[in-house]
Amino acid sequence: MTDLERAFRTLMEAAGPLPAERVAAWEAAGRVAAEDVLAPRDVPGFRRVMMDGFACRSADVAAASPGRPVALRLTGDVAAGQVPAGGPGEGEAWSVGTGAVLPGGADAVVPLERVRREGDRVLVDRPVPPGRNVAALDEDIRRGERLATAGEPISPAAAAALVAAGIPAVPVIRRPRVLILATGDELVDLRERGDGRAGAASGTGPGRVYNSNAAALAAEFRNLGVECTLGGIVPDDTVALRTAFRQALAAGADVIVTTGGVSVGPRDRVARTWLELGARRFLGRLDVKPGGPFFAGRWGDTWVIGLSGTPASCLATYHVLVRPFLLRLAGRRPGGPPVVPPALATPLPNPADPP
């Protein structure tokens, strides 16, 4: 048996990030950057008006006060998306909208609510310093600024920054493709009844259980951002297992995850079947409870993982080994095994112990 820390180390050292692919920047949120991405330009790239108001020369209103407002003559206007032709001269102002390019000659914007308009003039009753209500060329993004970091997920805000910087596509680690196969003669698919109809609310019958492990793992994989395919239920039969495994390999998954059939009973044939097909074993039974029954191997470029059929055991091993392993394939940094030594206040009974 292999202890948990050694098993974790073995998987992390054997696995590496999947190849990179390019995706559109607006679809990159949640993906892991394959390399650092730097901004190719300043954003907005022009001096941008931050408030509706009037662009002027700050020197013209330096002496303005409520008792002696300065009158500026309106000589032009510019809205967002327009390119101003010219700008205010001495003693002049332009009407400007939020997001507009600051007209040439102006160095500040007086907010609309801070002036009084009289015909073709505006009265300014307080000074405005240079640069007031004007965004710099690199206010949002500076040229050369790192917008995505290799090995880190791209956040929604970072994806927006990539688009704002005019980057159409970015290199990301390809999402792992996982195929789930549940093994066991006792399993029933809730999605189909014996008569082919969905439902089966009447129950499974004696000795049968619904295939809940596959449902739990599929949900975990989706939450992890992994592409997941449900491969169905395979009986505890060597020929059926061999056929199902070959079909799964042909499907092109990066990882095939099975549930059940990895313990030491006479009908636990998953690991043996993989080895007969030529898989290389990396790990077998673990020195841990729950979660001891386990198999990890590789067939060509495909990883094969065998989890216990017992739900608690299946999910325990998933969280401490398989989840970090998938994060590693996805280019993430999973850290160490997520284990915290517990301290029990009272004995924890084991239903398997004799009375």
pLDDT digits 0-9 by tens, 104-148: 999 999 999 999 999 999 999 999 999 999 999 999 999 999 999
Q: How far apart are CA 96 and CA 73, in angstroms?
A: 14
Residues 165 and 214 in one domain: no
Closest by Cα among 66, 63, 88, 69 to 77: 88
The pLDDT tens digits for 68-106 are 999 999 999 999 999 999 999 999 999 999 999 999 999
**Residue 105: CATH number of its domain:** 2.170.190.11
Q: What confidence tier does 189 reach under pLDDT thresholds 50, 70, 90?
A: confident
Q: What confidence tier does 268 reach under pLDDT thresholds 50, 70, 90?
A: confident
Question: Is the pLDDT score of 350 beyond 80?
Answer: no
Q: How much of the chain exceeds pLDDT 70, in percent?
A: 94
Domain annotation covers residue 287 = yes
CA distances 298 to 219, 240, 257, Å, are: 24, 20, 12
Amino acid code (one letter) for 307:
L
In the chain, the largest separation of any two C-alpha atoms, in whole Å, equals 99
Residues 195 and 109 in one domain: no
Please answer whether residues 89 and 75 qualify as being in contact, where contact means their C-beta atoms are separated by less than 8 angstroms. Answer: yes
DSSP-assigned letters across all residues of 53-86: EEEE-GGGGTT--SSSPEEEEEEEEE-TT---SS
What is the mean pLDDT of the segment spanning 261-277? 90
User: Among residues 83, 113, 135, which one ends one of the domains?
Assistant: 135
- Please state the φ and ψ torsions of residue 2, each to the nearest 5 degrees: -110, 130
Residues 81 and 70 in one domain: yes
Q: How far apart are CA 190 and CA 348, in angstroms?
A: 33
Domain annotation covers residue 227 = yes
Residues 272 and 303 in one domain: yes
The pLDDT tens digits for 331-341 are 988 777 666 77
Amino acid code (one letter) for 119:
G
339 is written with which tokens? 């284990």
What is the mean pLDDT of the segment spanning 311-322? 94
pTM: 0.78
Domain annotation covers residue 337 = no
Residues 181 and 198 in one domain: yes
Least confident of 110-114, 199-203, 210-214, 277-281: 199-203
Q: Scan for tokens 């901004």, then name that residue.
A: 39
- Please state the φ and ψ torsions of residue 116, each to the nearest 5 degrees: -120, 130
Residues 111 and 66 in one domain: yes
The pLDDT tens digits for 12-41 are 999 899 999 999 999 999 999 999 999 999
Q: How far apart are CA 320 and CA 313, in angstroms?
A: 11
Residues 212 and 268 in one domain: yes
Q: Please say whether the dihedral angle defined by the alpha carbons of residues 143, 144, 145 and 146, taken in this order, is positive or negative.
A: positive
Domain annotation covers residue 303 = yes
Q: How many CB atoms lie within 10 A of CB 305?
A: 25
Angle at 216 between CA 152 and CA 33, to 5 degrees: 10
Rounded to the nearest 5 percent, the helix, strand and coil shares of the chain are 25, 25, 50
Q: What is the mean pLDDT of the chain?
A: 91
Q: What confidence tier does 271 reach under pLDDT thresholds 50, 70, 90?
A: very high
Q: How far apart are CA 134 and CA 127, in angstroms?
A: 15
Please answer whether residues 53 and 96 qualify as being in contact, where contact means their C-beta atoms are separated by less than 8 angstroms. Answer: yes
Question: Is the pLDDT score of 309 beyond 90?
Answer: yes
What is the mean pLDDT of the segment spanning 271-290? 92
Domain annotation covers residue 350 = no
Residues 57 and 99 in one domain: yes
Domain of residue 222 covers: 4-18+175-329
Residues 109 and 54 in one domain: yes
**Residue 160: CATH number of its domain:** 3.90.105.10
Residues 212 and 256 in one domain: yes
Q: What confidence tier does 199 reach under pLDDT thresholds 50, 70, 90?
A: very low
> How many domains, the chain?
3
